Amino acid sequence: MTVIDNQTASNESIAAGNGVVGQRILRKEDPVLLTGEAVYTNDMVVPGALYMAVLRSPHAHATISSIDTSAALALPGVHSVYTGADMADQWAAPMPCAWPVTDDMKNPAHYPLAISKVAYVGDGVACVLAETDSIAHDAIELIDVNYDVHSAVIDLESALSDNVVIHDELGTNASYTWPLLIEENDGDCQKAIDEAAFVVSERYVQQRLIPMAMEPRAVVAMPQPFGGDMTLYSATQVPHILKVMTALTLGIPEHQLRVVCPAVGGGFGSKLDVYAEELLCVQLARTLKVPVRWNEERSENALATVHGRGQIQDIELAADADGRLTGMRVRLTADMGAYLQLVTPGIPLFGAFLYAGVYKLPKAYDFSCTGVFTTMTPTDAYRGAGRPEATYAIEHAMDALARKVGIDPLELRRRNFIPKESYPYEAFTGLVYDSGDHDKAASIAESLLDYAGLRARQDEQNIPGSTKRLGVGVSTYFEMCGLAPSRVLASLNYSAGGWESATVRVLPTSKIQVVTGTAPHGQGHETAWSMIAADRFGVDPADVDVLHSDTAIAPLGLDTYGSRSLPVGGVALTMACDKVIDKARQIAAHQMEANEEDLEFSGGTFRVAGSPDREMPLAAIAFEAFTAHNLPEGLEPNLEAQVTYDPPNFSWPFGTHMCAVEIDTETGNVELLQYVAVDDCGNKVNPLIVDGQVHGGVVQGIGQALYEEARYDDDGNLQSSTLAEYLVPAASDVPPITLGESVTPSPGNPLGVKGVGEAGTIGAAPCVMNAVVDALSGLGVQDIQMPASPLNVWNAIQQAQANHQETNQ
């Protein structure tokens, strides 16, 4: 195996203060996480709390004909039992979908407990409150529900036939069709296809995935019966959004609701939602005036927490004789699942703008997406959210085009790259890409992998009769990050903005407090935000504390998802720091009787230019600001500033991934021999954290390519509902990952950063699948459905051989 890199981080020998950004600083989050001291929601000790368990539908599609809760109620230790009908009049509004992508989008009313009909296996039917978790689980087994069972709707295309309509009141299973037609003149896309030297028409299926954050969800709702306040503790990545939505859905005055995320064990988009159990716990705690808690079990998580992906992609590329793209048509069918969750319908739209990847495409683009209801768990954001799907389609189709043109896939990509001189580059969509150097990223990957060497080895190894075939995969990507300019979101009908807030205060003793509206759940914001502030102020990151994830402490924010925290929240922080420094400068100038323009600020101290003996450290200014005994006329006491930053543009990380696989054609087993990722996310605040994000992202992409799939049977039962069946890869199943360094700063923000949370995942699935098909194309295999499990690979080889024999006869 490849030797693991030996770059290590340390907090010794790193200069504190200005210049700390860009260094490999150890995480301040780690000591509590490493020792068990961290408190996750389910770790909370809550005296007097009732435990909730939810009875879930065992049927994919059924009408509830009767529910008998008497046996459950009779069980000692059971406090109460509620059905959907019992609670029907308690909701001020149905569960929220914040993204009505079209004006005529169909959105069925969705309540925390189904009232008369269930629409997927796992749909909540009733809930029990009991003295212990065990009793609550015993009790749900005693609830007797009679169902009138209807046919399940699993297949997207047959769902569109409306033979079985899931939500009667809608009259159809189609939720919406959202078109994006970009042409200079009418018919340009069709014309490009008609006149193309090469046309590639492909169909790809993005299998459903289960996010499987290691911490399942958990909720504690803590009421204040007499005071009227309510605190919701939840394993969520969106405390601020959750607060607004909970207030609206339950009719709670928003100022009396506080949302807190204790330590959160990963999210990957699955905790970017407003869930039934959050609403149930709050509502029951409010009515009963006692704390109510719920913790999700893993097999319950597989049913009750959103899934990701689930798309059929029909993509047509038109290219000239050299393989340069001249037009593209994309038709998407997107699986919404049974209901629209918070941003379900908008997920494919994120991809709509990325189908040309890092390539030049004329205005000859015809995209349309239809969202379809099925009787499966609702889908929503999962790491990359729409962007991995789009990248997969273009990158896998580029390989198909390369085979058709008869050139090396890397060469085909190079011919189509947007050249670095063209940045900032206005793409066919009208969006402006901030910066990029695709040839550089590709060249670094090419040399790290030894691309040429592998191609030569491949020629030797992939000879007729060989049972170990080598494949080389390439994938490039552009990611649309930094969600998002609020005006752009408005144009997409998104119901919220994309700004982020930061507050910075220098305490009287000169320690610095940063309050951020981002809500980290593993990303290391406490460390990175400390570094940004420390860098700005010229102090030690250890003297900076970062407060977050509690709406009482950080009331303004739009949370963490879509690789937005650094390019939006981090930039807001930078601006807030600068505002505080400006104020400190006024105080320093006043105290030292100097002109503000003559003051230099470094290492945490203001100095008068040319008079090295006249200086004032931040500590002194902070205390002056606190006592307010001698401030400039009209200046408010204290050193504090708040900034809300709405980015003018998205940021555009990009990169190239390459890998080598060896396929055992006798068993269909794919072994990943080598993996190289070059992810250019602009400037890095802490390269240690950036590397970690890429490593993890890559393995989730490998997971989609080779291991993971939420499989349903024809009756709508999830067959992979535990971690024994849903194959999250382990250390023994993946290779080490070699990272290449490429830094192309974003000119769009003062930090020059772009975001990195999803990059690895976006690049990895197409890279691995391109390698798999590359290994087998010599046997006549055209494509393989993800995941490239041994069974799928073996079947594809058998099919290709059968076709071959047929052709020869």
Partner 1 sequence: MEVSININGTQQTHDVEPRTLLVQYIREHAGLTGTNIGCDTSSCGACSIHLNGEAVKSCTILAAQADGEEIKTIEGMADADGTLHPMQQAFMENHGLQCGYCTPGMVMAATSLLDENPNPSEEDVRLGLEGNLCRCTGYHNIVKSVLAAASV
Partner 2 sequence: MIPAQFDYVRAESAEEAISLIGQHGDEAKFIAGGHSLLPLMKLRLAQPSVLVDIGRLSDLSYIREDGDHIAIGAMTRHMDVETSDVLKQHAPLLAHAAGHVGDPQVRHRGTIGGSIAHSDSASDLPATTLAMGATYVAKGPNGTREIAAGDFFEGFLTTALAPDEMLTEIRVPKMNGAGWSFQKFNRRAQDWAIVGVAAWRNGTESGVGLVNMDSVPVLATSVSAAIASGASIEDAAAEAAAQADPTGDLNASVEYRQHLARVLTKRALTIASS
Chain contacts with partner 1 (rule: CB under 8 A) = 1, 4, 8-10, 26-27, 29-40, 42-43, 45, 134, 212-216, 263-266, 268, 297-299, 521-524, 688-689, 691-692, 694-700, 722-724, 728, 730-732, 734, 736-737, 760
Cβ 51 to partner 1 shortest distance, Å: 11
CB closer to partner 1 out of 264 and 587: 264
- CA 163 → CA 151, 175, 410, distances in Å? 10, 15, 45
724-783 residues near partner 2, rule: CB under 8 A: 724-725, 727, 729-730, 732-733
DSSP helix/strand/coil, 271: coil
- Given partner 1, partner 2, none, residue 150, with its beta carbon under 5 to 8 Å by kind, binds none
For the CB of residue 405, give the shortest distance to partner 1 in the complex, in Å: 34
Contact status, residue 268 vs residue 383, Cβ threshold 8 Å: yes
Cα 789 from chain centre: 25
Residue 2 tokens, joined: 């490849």
Residue found under tokens 């994938």 = 475
What is the residue type of 313? Q
x/- site string to partner 2, residues 311 to 340, per CB under 8 A?
Answer: ------------------------------
Q: Does 611 bind partner 2 (CB under 8 A)?
A: no
Q: Which two tokens stand for residue 414?
A: 């190079």
Choices 97-105, 261-269, 534-542, 786-794; region in contact with partner 2 by CB under 8 A: 786-794
User: Taking the CB of residue 705, how many other CB atoms lie within 10 A of it?
Assistant: 27
Tokens of 271: 């905790």
CA 184 to each of CA 319, 352, 424, 673: distance values in angstroms, whole numbers, following the listed order: 17, 18, 21, 45
Q: Of the candidates 790, 799, 800, 801, which one interacts with partner 2 according to CB under 8 A?
A: 790
Closest distance between partner 2 and the C-beta of residue 75, in Å?
Answer: 11
Strand partners, 639: 506
Partner from partner 2, partner 1, none binding residue 790, C-beta < 5-8 Å depending on class: partner 2
Give the pair of three-digit tokens for residue 552. Answer: 């009482």
Whether 418 and 359 have beta carbons less than 8 Å apart is answered as yes
Tell whether residue 795 is a contact of partner 2 (CB under 8 A): yes
Tell me how many residues contact partner 2 (CB under 8 A).
29
What is the nearest approach in angstroms of partner 2 to the Cβ of residue 220? 18
Residue whose token pair is 């709509």: 352
Per the DSSP assignment, residues forming a β-bridge with 258 are 231
CB–CB of 590/413 below 8 Å? no
Q: Is the dihedral of CA 590, 593, 595, 600 positive or negative?
A: negative
3-state SS assignment for residue 246: helix
Q: Which of residues 690-719 bind partner 2 (CB under 8 A)?
A: 707, 711, 719
The CB-of-778 to partner 1 minimum distance in angstroms stands at 30
Q: Does 666 bind partner 2 (CB under 8 A)?
A: yes
Provide, rounded to whole angstroms, the least separation between the CB of residue 721 and partner 1. 10
Rounded Cα distance between 235 and 259, Å, is: 10
| Binding of partner 2 by 642 (CB under 8 A) | no
Tell me how far, at minimum, the Cβ of 144 lies from partner 1, in Å: 23
Q: How far is the CB of 713 from partner 1 (least distance, A)?
A: 19
Question: Strand 292-295 relative to strand 50-56: parallel, antiparallel, unpaired?
Answer: parallel
**Residue found under tokens 């402006």:** 432
Binder of residue 692, out of partner 1, partner 2, none (CB less than 5 to 8 A by kind):
partner 1
Q: How far is the CB of 730 from partner 2 (least distance, A)?
A: 6
Contact indicator for 506, 606 with CB cutoff of 8 Å: no
* Residue closer to partner 1 (CB basis): 31 or 225: 31
Residue number, 140 or 263, with CB nearest to partner 1:
263
Residue closer to partner 2 (CB basis): 224 or 667:
667
- Cβ 505 to partner 2 shortest distance, Å: 44
CA torsion angle 461 465 468 470 (round to 10): 40
If one asks whether residue 805 binds partner 2 (CB under 8 A), the answer comes out as no
The half-sphere exposure of 633 on its side-chain side, counting CA atoms within 13 A, is 0
DSSP, res 797 = H
CB contact burial 90-118 (16+ within 10 A = b; e otherwise): bbeeebbbbbbbeeebbbbebbbbbbebb
Q: Toward partner 2, which CB reaches closer, 181 or 728?
A: 728
Contact between 540 and partner 2 per CB under 8 A: no
Contact stretch for partner 2 (CB under 8 A) within 26-34, 134-142, 162-170, 617-625: 134-142
Is residue 66 part of the contact set for partner 2 (CB under 8 A)? no
Decide: 153 and 374 in contact? Cβ < 8 Å: yes
Choosing among partner 1, partner 2, none, which partner's interface includes residue 215 (Cβ < 5 to 8 Å by kind)? partner 1
Q: Find the largest Cα–Cα distance for the chain.
A: 98
**669 belongs to the binding site for partner 2 (CB under 8 A):** yes
Which of the listed partners (partner 2, partner 1, none) does 609 bind, with a CB threshold of 5 to 8 Å by partner kind?
none
Region of 126 on the Ramachandran plot (φ > 0 left; ψ -120 to 50 alpha; else beta): beta
From 218-226, 234-242, 297-305, 311-319, span contacting partner 2 (CB under 8 A): 297-305
Residue from 131, 133, 202, 439 touching partner 2 (CB under 8 A): that is 133
- Give the shortest CB-1-to-partner 2 separation in angstroms: 14
What ranges in 641-712 are assigned the alpha helix state H? 687-702
Tokens of 242: 């959750």
Sheet containing strand 468-478, edge to edge, reads 468-478, 654-664, 669-680, 738-740
Taking residues 137 to 176 in sequence order and writing x for each that binds partner 2 by CB under 8 A, - otherwise, the string is xx--x-----------------------------------
Binding partner of residue 137 among partner 1, partner 2, none, CB under 5 to 8 Å per kind? partner 2
**What is the rounded distance in angstroms from the CA atom of residue 708 to the CA atom of residue 703?**
5
Interaction partner, residue 791 (partner 1, partner 2, none; CB < 5-8 Å by kind): partner 2
Q: Which pairing describes strands 425-426 and 364-373: parallel, antiparallel, or unpaired?
A: unpaired
CB of 693 to partner 1, least distance (A): 8
Q: Which is nearer to partner 1, 133 or 715 (CB)?
A: 133
Structure tokens at 452: 């040429």
- Please give the order of strands across the beta sheet that includes 117-118: 117-118, 62-68, 144-149
Nearer to partner 1, 31 or 251 (CB): 31
């950004």: which residue's tokens? 21
Stretch in the footprint of partner 2 (CB under 8 A) among 305-313, 380-388, 665-673, 765-773:
665-673
Neighbours of 180 (CB within 10 A): 15
Residues with Cβ within 8 Å of 543's Cβ and at least 6 positions away in sequence, in order, are 510, 511, 512, 534
Out of 19, 33, 63, 298, the only residue in the binding site for partner 2 (CB under 8 A) is: 298
Give 4 or 730: the residue with its C-beta nearer to partner 2. 730
Q: Based on CB atoms, which residue is closest to partner 1, 680 or 708? A: 708
Judged by beta carbon distances under 5 to 8 A according to partner kind, the member of partner 2, partner 1, none in contact with residue 689 is partner 1
Measured CA to CA, the distance from residue 794 to residue 802 in angstroms comes to 12
720 binds partner 2 (CB under 8 A): yes
Nearer to partner 2, 467 or 630 (CB): 467
Closer of 96 and 701 to partner 2 (Cβ): 701
- Residues near partner 2 (CB under 8 A) are 133-134, 137-138, 141, 297-299, 666-669, 707, 711, 719-720, 722, 724-725, 727, 729-730, 732-733, 789-791, 794-795
